[in-house]
Amino acid sequence: MSNELIGARVLRKEDNRFITGKGRYTDDINLAGQTYACFVRSPHAHANIKGFHISAAENAPGVVAVLTGLQVLEDGLGGLPCGWMLHSKDGSEMKQPMHPIMAGEKVNYAGEPVAVVIADTYEQAKNAVEQVAVDYEVLQAVVDTSSAAEQADIYPDIPANTCYNWELGDAEATSQGLAEAAHITRIELINNRLIPNAMEPRAAIADYNTGTEELILYTTSQNPHLARLIFTAFVQIAPEHKLRVIAPDVGGGFGSKIFVYSEETTISWASKKIGRPIKWTAERSESFLTDAHGRDHHTMAELALDEEGNFLALNVKTTANMGAYLSTFASAVPTYLYGTLLAGQYRTPSIYVEVDAVFTNTAPVDAYRGAGRPEATYVLERLVEKAASELAIDPAELRRRNFIGKDQFPYQTPVALEYDIGDYEASLDKALEMSDYAGFASRKDASQRAGKLRGIGLSCYIEACGLAPSALAGSLGAGVGLWESGEIRVNPTGSVTVLTGSHSHGQGHETTFAQLVSAKLGIPIDDIDVVHGDTGKMDFGLGTYGSRSLAVGGSALSRAADKVIAKGTKIAAHLLQTDAENIEFDAGEFKVIDSNEGKTIQEIAFAAYVNHDFPIDELEPGLTEKAFYDPVNFTYPAGTHICEVEIDPDTGVTEITKFTAVDDFGTLINPMIVEGQVHGGLVQGIGQALLENCVYDTEGQLVTGSYMDYCMPRADDVPSFDVGMTCTPCTHNPVGAKGCGEAGAIGSPPAVMNAVLNALGQTDMDMPATSEKVWQAIQNAAASN
Amino acid sequence: MYDFNYHKPDTVADAVALFNAAEDAMYLAGGHTLIPAMKQRLRAPTDLIDLSAIQSLGEIQAKDGSLLIGSTVTHSQVAESEVVSAEAPVLAALASGIGDRQVRNRGTIGGSVANSDPAADYPAAVLGLGASIVTDRREIAADDFFQDMFETALADGELITAIRFPTTASAAYAKFPNPASRYATVGVLVAKTAGGVRVAITGAAASVFRATEMEQVLNDNFSVEALAEVRLASDDMNADIHAGAEYRAHLCGVMAARAVASI
Ligand SMILES: Cc1cc2nc3c(=O)[nH]c(=O)nc-3n(C[C@H](O)[C@H](O)[C@H](O)COP(=O)(O)OP(=O)(O)OC[C@H]3O[C@@H](n4cnc5c(N)ncnc54)[C@H](O)[C@@H]3O)c2cc1C
């Protein structure tokens, strides 16, 4: 693959349709005879349902059907499953409450669907929803993460509201390390709960054809195949061969659209009952209430250091909020995507982590951009910065002292992962230089003269992407293998249709994957189209999340392209009447070695379909190849983020004056797209650090249920970013890529918080660092002096 | 939203007559508060009376030492008006800081003042500059107009036709926006008027109010230093997840000082 296309800033192929309003999102699709669904949702966080009164709604204008959670029970539908089985320290299986698609007997979070009204128009459905009366017996809600285990049980068969008590690492060696330490730094942190807020809300259309008994579901999914599998195998809505799931253009997911939810499942079930298509599009307030939330950890951690500042041991104890039910991947997020990342970029010899996952009467919590890795990075990088401050060592220097050296790879961490490659000093050095770290003191003086407080903060993150080596994932409890598929169809006239089991919902796969295939096959990028998101077109795929698409899905395509070349070589040999060994492929041409003879790949493609004389036992017509790629290890993107802030002490407002991100994502196919992913991730990370916070009151009512109160970052909240790259190509996949989709959201929160605390000369504060919190911290410090 | 009857009169008299004839009517200006409230089913008028076709409500005029801004004039029109910039530049500055571009293109001064949202910006200007609210039947002094959260002196069916501002060059508005909604967490308008210094604060309490302690101090000595002696009590201040009462009281002082410094 020697081609100038790898690493080229090709403009995105998909943008023409997006910026001219020609994207086709689920809500843009309308089917003949379509009806509309509107859900009746529980106003209470925790209550027993004593009765449904639906006859008024059934008789309201335009109403086609009213279905309740009781009918779900009567039909014996399966619950929504969690795809990852975890075990507690004592070997017992995690506790999993039944998650009905609509509650019939008891509700466990505010906003949980209990009934659905289906009508000819959405307004009619919504009017009739007001006519549905539900009798509730309100119960005490469990809301707070850290005390959930001590409160009354939500589920009779789940003691102490505990899903599991999980552990990883060597407890004994870690306490030994702590005992021998010259210094121990301790920290207590809350990783604030977030609401994902994709630009396009969740939406679905279920279309059951009574004639063919086929169900087509259009849905805003990051992984339509997984949705089909769950519908068929678990909820038993329809057999797989009669079920087609289409995820057309999808406007952002950030994890929240990986999961299978109540609403699309309910309308699929209901469409079969009424024999008509049903559309549901979430209102924004429904998104706030019911999209799976992210983060929500409470953590205590301690880091043991020797006299020279070498890390000896790390001990972490975390309570993670699962919400009311286990969402699709929820159990894996605070464990395999969190505990395993606690080594960070450091040589810490002993690490022990315990995670208690608890249920509360809040919306389910699951993977959200970064998923576990931001939480791990946050703990570690806040802790390291605090240690540097306590020991009066420069925070960059303390990190450097403990880095895994670039000659120490592959490196086995004490928390299960084996890093294949990296160069942490390279990204640190580049970030220090780009951020003018050396010049910070003079900038701080200038701020001080202007009455402002200036601070700088670092974060050296690592993450594990490229989910996942299937055998490893399986041994850890994953319900499915995590390979990816890719198919390349070279059409007779030489254009190419690429099919991938991954899914693009903003990431630019239609460009990146076309670049990759173009580079491999020497076919112009304009002749290559990428197809994704339709179980009727691809036979299987695992979807897009965890920054896996290029590293795993791209690798599958790379393999498929190799197969196309191999087949083309055979065809060329046949046409040119020579042996395959005498053919070499380069830049779109099959050439006979040491001769002027050759055929272009387009000529070969044409021949592949129109030939009359292939020796059919040895050579089949056609030029379509498929490959499945199962990674042998995770990939390990890593880098250094440096944030510089200026605080106005009069108001407590923090301004980010400079943000530098230096990342090592391995080989870049399209640096423009990669930088866009970094920018988006940084804004989400900065949003978490300064602005965003999901708040429930003590009754379990969502306080931040709209943009009036949930503070999304806006363009003017962030600076123009300085993004730089270093590169150590991934050693074990054919593309050399590691993944770039989440790094921004993983690395940035601790960099921002470290900068804020550095400006204040303090070491403790939870996110988000709102102006009031910062102002209060300044007041408290002044009062205690 | 529920069904309603829609009317689009072209005179004030017709608008008021339609209002009185309907069962439960509401005036519709830019719809930026009313339509979302109807979509959420918090409001369910039987009749909507759209004011956008009444030409006289859309005018900005300077006459007899005052600036008359019609009730359906949008925030962006105020922000960009040369007349406003000449006669009362503080209003142009305030209007340009409301919401975002889309909001400024739809939202109106009449709708904002009639609605009297405790966090809206315009009430600070209306009260701080000592403006008056001109309606279809009378003219109400700002001091008598704003009564409580979302409560004004308007009678049922009374239509705001314009706001009459005194022309002034000696006024400034300093806003501390709520980071999520960008409405005012605290907004302070300070003006030197013929009758003395006026300080009006929005966002901090149930309704816009005059900070009389600040006014007294500034009347004696119009300076940031003098203002520093005043600390507003936090007792009646709003408190929410973005800003507690103490913090709001503190911000009133900071924003007032910034307004004073810029005059
Ligand atoms: C996203 C967003 C952000 C915003 N940010 C800000 C901000 O930062 N600062 C700020 O101050 N405001 C802000 N607003 C409010 C906005 O600027 C409008 O002023 C406000 O919504 C009123 O809207 P409107 O003029 O469209 O009136 P409408 O919504 O049409 O009407 C509002 C109310 O006033 C009544 N009414 C309207 N006109 C008259 C009249 N002439 N006589 C009598 N009654 C009348 C209506 O019956 C209704 O009850 C924001 C609004 C939105 C949607």
Would you place residue A358 in the very low, low, confident or very high pLDDT band (cuts 50, 70, 90)? very high
Q: How confident is the model over A237-253, as pLDDT tens digits? A: 889 899 999 999 999 99
Chain A nearest-CA residue for B175: A651
Mean pLDDT of A122-127: 96
Topology (CATH level 3) of domain A297-467+633-784: Aldehyde Oxidoreductase; domain 4 (3.30.365)
Q: What is the DSSP string of A368-402?
A: -TTTTHHHHHHHHHHHHHHHHHHHT--HHHHHHHH
Q: What is the DSSP string of B157-214?
A: T--EEEEEEE--SSEEEEEEE-TTT-SEEEEEEEEEETTEEEEEEESSSSS-EE-HHH
CATH number, position B20? 3.30.43.10
Q: From the CB of residue A147, how many other CB atoms can be counted at a distance below 10 Å?
A: 14
Q: Which two tokens stand for residue A359?
A: 């249920």
Same-domain check for residues B160 and B59: yes
> Are B247 and A127 in contact (CB < 8 Å)?
no
Would you place residue A704 in the very low, low, confident or very high pLDDT band (cuts 50, 70, 90)? very high
Would you place residue A637 in the very low, low, confident or very high pLDDT band (cuts 50, 70, 90)? very high
> Are A709 and B181 in contact (CB < 8 Å)?
yes
Contacts of A288 in chain B (CB under 8 A): none
Q: How far is B153 from chain A (nearest CA, A)?
A: 27
Contact by Cβ (8 Å): A566, A584: no
Q: How confident is the model over A10-66, as pLDDT tens digits? A: 999 999 999 999 999 999 999 999 999 999 999 999 999 999 999 999 999 999 999
Question: Rounded to an integer, what distance in angstroms lies between the CA atom of residue B108 and that of residue B72?
Answer: 5
**Which residue type occupies A179?**
A
Rounded to the nearest whole angstrom, what is the distance from the C-alpha of residue B76 to the centroid of ligand 1? 13
Backbone torsions φ then ψ of A25, nearest 5 degrees: -95, 165
> Are B179 and A708 in contact (CB < 8 Å)?
no
On whether the A31-139+202-281 domain is CATH 3.90.1170.50, my answer is yes
Which CATH architecture does the domain made up of A483-629 adopt?
A: 2-Layer Sandwich (3.30)
User: What pLDDT score was predicted for residue A235?
Assistant: 82
| Average pLDDT of chain A to the nearest whole number | 96
Mean pLDDT of A715-730: 97
Question: Rounded to an integer, what distance in angstroms lies between the CA atom of residue A348 and that of residue A332?
Answer: 23
Question: Rounded to an integer, what distance in angstroms lies between the CA atom of residue B221 and that of residue B214?
Answer: 10
Contact by Cβ (8 Å): A722, A350: no
Angle, CA A367 vertex, CA A361 and CA A371 arms, to 5°: 120
Would you place residue A231 in the very low, low, confident or very high pLDDT band (cuts 50, 70, 90)? confident
Angle, CA A470 vertex, CA A467 and CA A475 arms, to 5°: 110
Would you place residue A475 in the very low, low, confident or very high pLDDT band (cuts 50, 70, 90)? confident
Contact by Cβ (8 Å): B123, B113: yes
Would you place residue A331 in the very low, low, confident or very high pLDDT band (cuts 50, 70, 90)? very high
Q: Which two tokens stand for residue A768?
A: 């988000």
Closest to A709 (Cβ–Cβ): which among B241, B250, B251?
Answer: B241
What residue ranges line ligand 1, CB within 6 angstroms?
A: B 26-34, 51, 71, 75, 98-99, 103, 106-108, 110-112, 114-115, 120-122, 159-160, 182-183
CATH number, position B126? 3.30.465.10
Could you say which DSSP state residue A94 is in? P
User: What pLDDT score was predicted for residue B50?
Assistant: 98
Contact by Cβ (8 Å): A503, A485: no
* Residue A19 CA: distances (Å) to CA of A201, A252, A512, A681: 19, 15, 18, 21
**Which residues 6+ apart lie within 8 Å of A351 measured at CB?**
A168, A169, A170, A174, A313, A314, A315, A316, A342, A343, A413, A414, A415
Domain boundary among B143, B166, B189: B166
Mean pLDDT of B55-61: 97
Could you say which DSSP state residue A104 is in? S
Contacts of A693 in chain B (CB under 8 A): 241
What pairing do the DSSP bridges indicate for beta strands A35-41 and A528-531? unpaired
Strand, helix or coil for residue A422: coil
User: What pLDDT score was predicted for residue A296?
Assistant: 98
Same-domain check for residues B196 and B141: no
Contacts of B176 in chain A (CB under 8 A): 651
Same-domain check for residues B37 and B127: no
Q: How far is B5 from chain A (nearest CA, A)?
A: 16
Would you place residue A215 in the very low, low, confident or very high pLDDT band (cuts 50, 70, 90)? very high
User: What pLDDT score was predicted for residue A3?
Assistant: 74
Rounded to the nearest whole angstrom, what is the distance from the C-alpha of residue B112 to the centroid of ligand 1? 4
Would you place residue A478 in the very low, low, confident or very high pLDDT band (cuts 50, 70, 90)? confident
**Which residue type occupies A644?**
E
Q: How far is B248 from chain A (nearest CA, A)?
A: 9
User: What pLDDT score was predicted for residue A312?
Assistant: 98
Same-domain check for residues B110 and B181: no
Question: Rounded to an integer, what distance in angstroms lies between the CA atom of residue A570 and that of residue A560?
Answer: 15
Rounded to the nearest whole angstrom, what is the distance from the C-alpha of residue A299 to the centroid of ligand 1? 44
Question: Rounded to an integer, what distance in angstroms lies between the CA atom of residue A636 and that of residue A387?
Answer: 25
Domain enclosing residue B194, as ranges: 171-261
> Are B180 and A712 in contact (CB < 8 Å)?
yes
Q: From the CB of residue B262, how many other CB atoms can be counted at a distance below 10 Å?
A: 13
Rounded to the nearest whole angstrom, what is the distance from the C-alpha of residue A304 to the centroid of ligand 1? 58
Closest to B180 (Cβ–Cβ): which among A652, A708, A775?
Answer: A708
Closest to A710 (Cβ–Cβ): which among B180, B247, B254?
Answer: B180
Q: From the CB of residue B123, how many other CB atoms can be counted at a distance below 10 Å?
A: 29
Mean pLDDT of A744-769: 98
Q: From the CB of residue A89, how many other CB atoms can be counted at a distance below 10 Å?
A: 12
Q: Which two tokens stand for residue B234?
A: 């936090």
Mean pLDDT of B135-139: 98
Domain boundary among B166, B196, B223: B166
Indicate which residue's Cα is closest to atom 16 of ligand 1: B107
Same-domain check for residues B230 and B151: no
Indicate which residue's Cα is closest to atom 48 of ligand 1: B34
Contact by Cβ (8 Å): A648, A452: yes
* Residue B77 CA: distances (Å) to CA of A249, B95, B103, B161: 38, 9, 12, 16
Give chain B's domain count: 3
Q: Which residues pair with A546 in a beta bridge?
A: none
Q: How many A-B residue pairs are in contact by the CB < 8 A criterion?
A: 40
Q: How confident is the model over A265-277, as pLDDT tens digits? A: 999 999 999 999 9
Same-domain check for residues B17 and B92: no
Q: How far is A279 from chain B (nearest CA, A)?
A: 19
Q: From the CB of residue A563, how many other CB atoms can be counted at a distance below 10 Å?
A: 16
Instruction: Indicate which atom in ligand 1 lies nearest the CA of residue B37.
Output: 29
* Cis amide leading into A97 (omega within 30): no
| CA-closest candidate to residue A39, choices A114, A110, A107 | A114
Contact by Cβ (8 Å): B147, B183: no
Q: How far is A650 from chain B (nearest CA, A)?
A: 7
User: What pLDDT score was predicted for residue A237?
Assistant: 83
Same-domain check for residues B144 and B81: yes
Same-domain check for residues B14 and B107: no
Q: Is the pLDDT of residue A1 over 60?
A: no
Q: Given its phi and psi angles, is residue A588 left (phi above 0), alpha (psi -120 to 50 degrees) or beta?
A: left
Rounded to the nearest whole angstrom, what is the distance from the C-alpha of residue B34 to the centroid of ligand 1? 7
User: What pLDDT score was predicted for residue A539?
Assistant: 82
Rounded to the nearest whole angstrom, what is the distance from the C-alpha of residue B89 to the centroid of ligand 1? 21
Pocket test for ligand 1, best of B74, B103, B156 (most atoms within 8 A of CB): B103
User: What pLDDT score was predicted for residue A165?
Assistant: 98
Q: How far is A363 from chain B (nearest CA, A)?
A: 20
What pairing do the DSSP bridges indicate for beta strands B132-135 and B160-166? antiparallel
Would A31-139+202-281 and A483-629 be classified into the same CATH topology? no
Closest to A695 (Cβ–Cβ): which among B2, B179, B241?
Answer: B241
Same-domain check for residues B60 and B160: yes
The residue of A289, A653, A708, A780 whose CB has the most chain B CBs within 10 angstroms, and thus the best one to mutate to test that interface, is A708
Contacts of B181 in chain A (CB under 8 A): 707-709
Same-domain check for residues B86 and B148: yes
* Residue A599 CA: distances (Å) to CA of A2, A521, A574, A576: 20, 13, 11, 8
ipTM of the complex: 0.96
Could you say which DSSP state residue A437 is in? G
Q: Which two tokens stand for residue A379?
A: 């703990």
pTM tops 0.80, yes or no: yes
Question: Rounded to an integer, what distance in angstroms lies between the CA atom of residue A692 and that of residue A700?
Answer: 18
What percentage of residues in chain A have a pLDDT greater than 90? 93
The ranges assigned to domains in chain A are 31-139+202-281, 297-467+633-784, 483-629
The residue of B103, B234, B242, B260 whose CB has the most chain A CBs within 10 angstroms, and thus the best one to mutate to test that interface, is B242
Rounded to the nearest whole angstrom, what is the distance from the C-alpha of residue B156 to the centroid of ligand 1? 18
Could you say which DSSP state residue A666 is in? B
Same-domain check for residues B37 and B68: no
User: What pLDDT score was predicted for residue A481?
Assistant: 82
Same-domain check for residues B95 and B154: yes
